[in-house]
Amino acid sequence: MTLTLYHYLVLAALLFCVGVYGVLTSKNAVRVLMSLELAFAGVSVNLVAFSNYITPGQLTGQMFTIFIMTVSAAEAGVGLAIIFNVFKNFQTADMEKISTMKW
Amino acid sequence: MIEFAVKNAWLVALLPLLSSIVITFLTRKSPVLSSRISRAFIFMALTLSSLICYEAVNDIDYVLQNSAGSLRWFTSGSFDFALSWKVDAVTAMMLVVVTLISTLVQLYSREYMEEYIHKGYSFSRYYAELSLFSFSMLLLVLTDNFLVLYAGWELVGVSSFLLIGFFFEKKSAPYAAKKAFLANRVGDFGFLLGILLIFTYTNTLNFDVAAAQIAAGKMTGGVLTLAAILTFFGAMGKSGQFPLHIWLPDAMEGPTPVSALIHAATMVAAGVYMVAKIMTIFAQATFPVLWGFNALDFIAAIGGITAIMAAFIAITQTDIKKILAYSTVSQLGFMILTLGMYSTEGGITPLGYTAGMFHLFTHAFFKAMLFLCSGSVIHACHTQDIFEMGGLRKKMPVTAITCLIGTAAISGAPGFAGFWSKDAMLDAIYEGNMFLFALAAIGATMTAFYMFRLYFLTFEGEYRGHGHPHEPGWRMKFPLIFLAIPSVLIGFVGTPWADYFKDFVHYTPVVKHATEHAAHHGPNWIVMGCSLAIFTVGTGLSFALYGKGDLSKSEALSLKMGGLFKASLNKLYIDEAYLWFIDKFVLAFAKASSLFDKFVIDMIVNVVSWACIGVAHFAKRMHSGNIQQYAMGVIVSVLLLIFAGTNYVYIAKQLPIYWVWITIGLILAVALSVLGYFGNLFKKILDSK
């Protein structure tokens, strides 16, 4: 069977949804960051698929993906630093317990 | 000078206002200066009024044409509310009466009130309030439109309240002031309704224009009678007619000069004056209300009841001022009764109108004088009870003679002022209704009786008290002597043979058209005979019982009257009846209203607030602090935004009942919130986590 654009889009959607699900329901803060990386992966697949099928000569989508990977690496580092500080203050990395940002 | 006075008639009212303002704001700390300013200004007003009245007597048309003026007050919609004034014959007469008696009373007060200054009561406040009263009364008298009349009416009520409650540290004075104002207010409510009715139908507030409109047929039948009776309620309140007379005897808590000015000569006359001024309205209100009574019959009936009831109560009173107060109520009843005899049908001259105004005129003089005499006596003996006086004729001859003149005048001694005016009144009533004539005759006899009782017990016989009575100073004697002259002589302007007063008053536009078709009226000998008989019988009875000036025969009165004596002494239990009515009905209604206010009206407001709190309890859950919930919110919002413009939402909006769903949703939200607030639903949800 020939792979069309839609197949890749479905794959990207699936990856993204799983990532978002992980972000929203993880109890562990590090797990949230991992799920976020999964979402990035889904977005990347989406971009590359569009780049390949819509504008085959140009490498726009692939360039965009390289940038995403760079930025996500930096942001993961920063996120882990934040979790580190939170752990220092709350003695826990449990997302449900660090809910003091309210009235 | 006369031209200036007539063209600027409004100045007469403004001068006392100026003095009141100056005293209130500038000279509070210097009582003597306040007194001088007040007396000076009212004297100026008196000279202006005298000039205006002089001109009115000589050339009434000049005054009618030149004294009118108007200031636009405000405009509302298409109607201009104006402060307008005009002097006609009755107004000119009232101007002189009011300013003259005000001047004399202010002079008298200078000496009378002196002893109270040392007890801490303020002279300045007294004079400011007196001047305010003069202004209000003159405003009332000068105006020719209902709005300013009502304003003046209320202002005299306020001044009366302030002055009755002058001795505010006495327990009873503020109560009396409150009672006076409330009784006035009840009357004023009816008055306002009457004015509003007249305004609605005739679309004007001016007396003459409204009268013309009514004559042209704008208001007829039941509505006109209703308006007339409602307007008369104002006169009932202000002039102390039958149900609303309760405040006048209690008003004697005020200083005696105040009683002389307000409750004898001027304010209580305002009601009678008003009825006279809008007489055409009353005269046309001929719709039979009950058993053929029309508005004028109602007025006459109330006047008659008042006259005889007050005379009956006065017979047994022992407080000198209360006797005079009830006497005033009774005389006002006579005046109102006479005014109710006005009729333009059948060629009868409107005698009632002129006789009523004539008695108002003469009564002002001798009643004020009688009150001032009583003040002189009270000042000397430091008591108000006539049983503790006696024999004062030897110690206070001037007061005694002037009091004798006043008593003779009010009893209708032949030749004195009261004789002519009472004769005129009885003449008018005789033409009207025989039953009321009999009632009036009995009332007049009782008047002679109790007034001479007052004189004999106070001035004849031996002194029964403990003080050292002596004649007062010139400031108190001069008004007495000055007022004694009109009490004797002024009646002669209105004798049946040469009725100058009637001719003068007839120039008022109200009456002119009626009298042009009426025949001239000579003296009615039957009525004159009755007047003489009334005086003789009343005075004779009084002399027989009290002539010696002692109390030896006073028991005879209570024995002869029996149970009636007790009723008379207790003021016919009218105050008790009022209190019972208030207790049973008014307070119950007030309680019901208060409960309604608390549980229905407040509840509506409370439910709204509870709904808000309930919704807040719901909405509070958005702020959980849970970061992942916040992220969820973001994602849901993005999805909503993406799908908002799609076909699904567009189709849903086309359905005509979508707003029904929204409304149901809102109501459910509110209901759940309220219930939740009450049922502590949320407590359980929030606390359980």
Chain B hits for A99, Cβ within 8 Å: 624-627
Label each residue of B177-223 as H, E or C. Answer: HHHHHHHHHHHHHHHHHHHHHHHHHHCCCEHHHHHHHHHCCCCCHHH
Cα distances from B200 to residues B191, B203, B284, in angstroms, run 14, 6, 17
With an 8 Å Cβ cutoff, is B624 touching chain A?
yes
CA distance B446 to B315: 7
Of B297, B155, B278, the closest CA to residue B215 belongs to: B278
* pLDDT of B289: 61
Chain A hits for B632, Cβ within 8 Å: 24
Asked if residue A99 belongs to a domain, the reply is: no
Asked if residue A103 belongs to a domain, the reply is: no
Q: Is B304 left (phi over 0), alpha (psi -120 to 50) or beta?
A: alpha
8 A C-beta contact, residue B41 and residue B103 = no
Q: What's CA B565's distance to the chain center, in Å?
A: 30
Contact B627 A98 (CB under 8 A): yes
CA B422, B427, B433, B437 torsion: positive or negative?
Answer: positive
Angle at B150 between CA B147 and CA B152, to 5 degrees: 110
Cα distances from B614 to residues A36, A63, B8, B668, B681, in angstroms, run 37, 53, 69, 11, 10
**Taking each helix axis from N to C terminus, what angle separates B525-546 and B434-459, rounded to the nearest 10 degrees?**
30
Asked if residue A38 belongs to a domain, the reply is: yes
Distance from CA of B624 to the nearest CA of A (A): 6
Of B421, B403, B441, the closest CA to residue B362 belongs to: B421
Query: Whole-number mean pLDDT of chain B?
Result: 85
CA distance B295 to B12: 34
Distance from CA of A103 to the nearest CA of B (A): 7
In residues, how long is chain B?
A: 689
Across the interface, of B623, B627, B635, the residue whose CB is closest to A95 is B627
* pLDDT of B348: 40
Asked if residue A101 belongs to a domain, the reply is: no
CA distance B338 to B430: 10
**Host domain of residue A51:** 5-90
CA distance B136 to B281: 24
With an 8 Å Cβ cutoff, is B627 touching chain A?
yes
* pLDDT of B687: 64
Of A65, A80, A72, the closest CA to residue A28 belongs to: A80
Asked if residue A55 belongs to a domain, the reply is: yes
Look up the ipTM and state it.
0.89
Of B335, B539, B364, B562, the closest CA to residue B446 belongs to: B539
Chain A hits for B631, Cβ within 8 Å: 23-24
Asked if residue A42 belongs to a domain, the reply is: yes
* pLDDT of A61: 94
* pLDDT of B510: 55
**Taking each helix axis from N to C terminus, what angle separates B89-112 and B267-277, rounded to the nearest 10 degrees?**
180
Burial (Cβ within 10 Å: 0-12, 13-18, ≥19) of residue B109:
buried
Residue B513 has pLDDT above 60, yes or no: no
Contact A24 B631 (CB under 8 A): yes
Contact B623 A96 (CB under 8 A): no
Please state which of the ranges A89-98, B54-63, B168-177, B658-667 shows the lowest mean pLDDT.
B658-667
Burial (Cβ within 10 Å: 0-12, 13-18, ≥19) of residue B424:
buried
* pLDDT of B514: 56
Asked if residue A84 belongs to a domain, the reply is: yes
Write the CB contacts of B606 (distance below 8 Å, at least 6 apart in sequence).
none
**Taking the CA of residue B164 as centre, how many other CA atoms within 13 Å lie in the half-sphere pointing to its CB?**
26
CA distance B377 to B459: 10
Mean pLDDT of B434-452: 92
* pLDDT of A39: 95
Which amino acid is present at B307? Answer: A
* pLDDT of B331: 94
Residue B276 has pLDDT above 90, yes or no: no
Across the interface, of B620, B625, B628, the residue whose CB is closest to A100 is B625
Across the interface, of B620, B626, B632, the residue whose CB is closest to A99 is B626
Chain A hits for B628, Cβ within 8 Å: 23-26, 32, 95
8 A C-beta contact, residue B10 and residue B68 = no
8 A C-beta contact, residue A98 and residue A86 = yes
Task: Give the position of tokens 């001694």.
Answer: B413
Distance from CA of B626 to the nearest CA of A (A): 5
Contact A95 B632 (CB under 8 A): no
Q: Which residues pair with B499 in a beta bridge?
A: B494
8 A C-beta contact, residue B139 and residue B152 = yes
When pLDDT is cut at 50, 70 and 90, the band that residue B519 belongs to is very low
Mean pLDDT of B220-227: 82
Q: What is the pLDDT of residues B295-320, one digit of tens each?
A: 788 888 999 999 999 999 998 888 99
8 A C-beta contact, residue B132 and residue B152 = no
Mean pLDDT of B645-651: 70
Task: Give the position of tokens 């003679």.
Answer: B401
Across the interface, of B620, B624, B631, the residue whose CB is closest to A23 is B631
Distance from CA of B647 to the nearest CA of A (A): 22
Tokens of B464: 């029964």
Residue B525 has pLDDT above 70, yes or no: yes
Structure letter (DSSP) for residue B491 = G
Contact A102 B631 (CB under 8 A): no
* pLDDT of B683: 64
Q: Which residues pair with A28 in a beta bridge?
A: A94
* pLDDT of B451: 93
When pLDDT is cut at 50, 70 and 90, the band that residue B6 belongs to is confident
Of B230, B199, B208, B332, the closest CA to residue B277 belongs to: B208
Distance from CA of A27 to the nearest CA of B (A): 10
Q: Which residues pair with B498 in a beta bridge?
A: B495
Task: Give the position of tokens 């009523």.
Answer: B356
CATH label of the domain that carries residue A37: 1.10.287.3510
Q: What is the pTM of this model?
A: 0.79
When pLDDT is cut at 50, 70 and 90, the band that residue B150 belongs to is very high
Distance from CA of B632 to the nearest CA of A (A): 7
8 A C-beta contact, residue B415 and residue B506 = no
Q: State how many domains chain A has.
A: 1
Chain A hits for B638, Cβ within 8 Å: none
Asked if residue A98 belongs to a domain, the reply is: no
**Taking each helix axis from N to C terminus, what angle separates B474-489 and B351-381, rounded to the nearest 10 degrees?**
150
Residue B540 has pLDDT above 80, yes or no: yes
Write the CB contacts of B441 (distance below 8 Å, at least 6 apart in sequence).
B426, B530, B534
- Start-end of H helices in B9-122: 10-25, 31-58, 60-66, 89-112, 114-117
* pLDDT of B346: 40
CA distance B129 to B24: 9
Q: What is the pLDDT of residues B549-598, one digit of tens each?
A: 667 676 766 777 777 788 888 888 888 888 899 889 999 999 999 999 99
With an 8 Å Cβ cutoff, is A102 touching chain B?
yes
Distance from CA of B635 to the nearest CA of A (A): 9
| B-interface mutation test, from A18, A21, A23, A83, most B Cβ less than 10 A away | A23
* pLDDT of B688: 58
Residue A93 has pLDDT above 60, yes or no: yes
Q: Is B217 left (phi over 0), alpha (psi -120 to 50) or beta?
A: left
With an 8 Å Cβ cutoff, is B637 touching chain A?
no
Across the interface, of A25, A26, A102, the residue whose CB is closest to B624 is A102
* pLDDT of B62: 83
Chain A hits for B635, Cβ within 8 Å: 20, 24
For B634, the closest chain A residue by CA position comes to: A24
Which residues in chain B (604-623) have CB-CB distances under 8 A to chain A? 620, 623
For A96, the closest chain B residue by CA position comes to: B626
Please state which of the ranges A6-20, B519-533, B623-637, B642-656 shows the lowest mean pLDDT.
B642-656
* pLDDT of B609: 85
Distance from CA of A98 to the nearest CA of B (A): 7
Across the interface, of B623, B628, B635, the residue whose CB is closest to A103 is B623
Q: What is the pLDDT of residues A46-82, one digit of tens each?
A: 999 999 999 988 999 999 999 999 999 999 999 999 9
Residue percentage of chain B with pLDDT more than 70: 90
